Amino acid sequence: MNSSLTAWLLAPAPASRTQAQLGRVYLGLRRFFSNPLTALGVTVVLAVVALAVLAPLVAPQDPLAQNLPARLQPPSAGHWLGTDELGRDMWSRIAYGARPTLLIVALVAVIVGPLGLAVGIVAGFTGGLLDRVLMRLTDMFMAFPQLVLALALAAALGAGLANAVIAIAVTSWPPYARLARSETLALRNSDFIAAIRIQGASRLRMLLRHVLPLCLPSMLVRLSLDMAGIILIAAGLGFLGLGTQPPTPEWGAMVASGRDMIVDQWWVSTLPGVAIFVTSLGLNLIGDGLRDLLDPRRS
């Protein structure tokens, strides 16, 4: 008999429901971090978050301070990643530039996840006219390329971080609504929902206590995999001048500021681009790990 199976059979039963839940969480985290690539992704994202939080401590200079005599200096001991066209320290600007990028990602995730989930489960569980109206509204948003629609909304609302968050969130929720609706349709006619309905449970209780928890894993996986795309859209808005406005450092805007000198002063555009790439890669690795953990077909 397999040793792990033997250990599981001989293990004492949990003393309470809470202990059993904590045990499942521990086993899930152990399995999650057993994948080296997933652990690498978590390390990268935590490092970027730490860089943003500790920017005042790790940045050697003021990211807004101009020093024209020191403009466009290559990486050196005085300026680890060189200076930009106004003599500002690139390492300091990259550290502070992580803040608006991560803030946009966090705010968009907080908005699109609950919004798409609410629309999807209500449409799928209710059916009828409400389902058709909500899904046709979803189809209207999905008929346009997300980046193009986000650019149009950001241009209409005006430049700024808040408007960038609104533009990205408005264009990002429809896939989550579709996913939640499809899973709700599969659950609506299941035997356990019929048994709960016979017991007299209200529709709201069935949605919140039984349908919602079963839809959450797939939503979390989809959201984690989409975070890298949200970073790229936010960087694209910043590149076009529709995101965080100068002189506040933002990775997309920093890439744009050095696009005319990419050959001779490559570090001005390349290094913020590398920061975008590394952060997106870390989020993708985390998303892959969550998919392997929460998808029962991959167990």
Do residues 181 and 123 touch, judged by C-beta distance below 8 A?
A: yes
Q: Domain ranges for the chain, please list them.
A: 46-57+80-298
pLDDT at 17: 63
171: CB partners within 8 A, 6+ apart: 141, 144, 146, 149, 150, 153
Structure tokens at 140: 């209207």
The per-residue pLDDT string of the chain (299 residues; one tens digit each, 9 = 90 and over) reads 455 545 544 555 566 666 556 666 666 667 767 788 888 989 999 999 999 999 999 988 888 888 888 888 988 888 888 898 888 999 999 999 999 989 998 999 899 989 999 999 988 888 888 889 999 999 888 888 888 888 888 888 888 888 889 999 988 899 999 999 988 888 887 888 778 888 877 787 888 888 888 888 888 888 888 888 889 888 888 888 888 888 889 999 899 888 888 888 898 999 999 999 999 999 989 888 888 777 655 55
User: pTM for the complete prediction?
Assistant: 0.83
Please report the pLDDT score of residue 190 as a whole number.
Answer: 80
pLDDT of residue 14: 62
HSE-CB at 124 with a 13 A cutoff on CA atoms is 25
Cα distances from 69 to residues 84, 85, 87, 136, 236, in angstroms, run 11, 10, 7, 58, 31
Strand, helix or coil for residue 264: coil
Residues whose CB falls within 8 Å of the CB of residue 64, separated by 6 or more in sequence, listed in order: 88, 247, 249
Asked if 299 and 65 count as a contact pair (C-beta separation under 8 A), the reply is: no
Query: Which fold is adopted by the domain 46-57+80-298?
Result: MetI-like fold (1.10.3720)
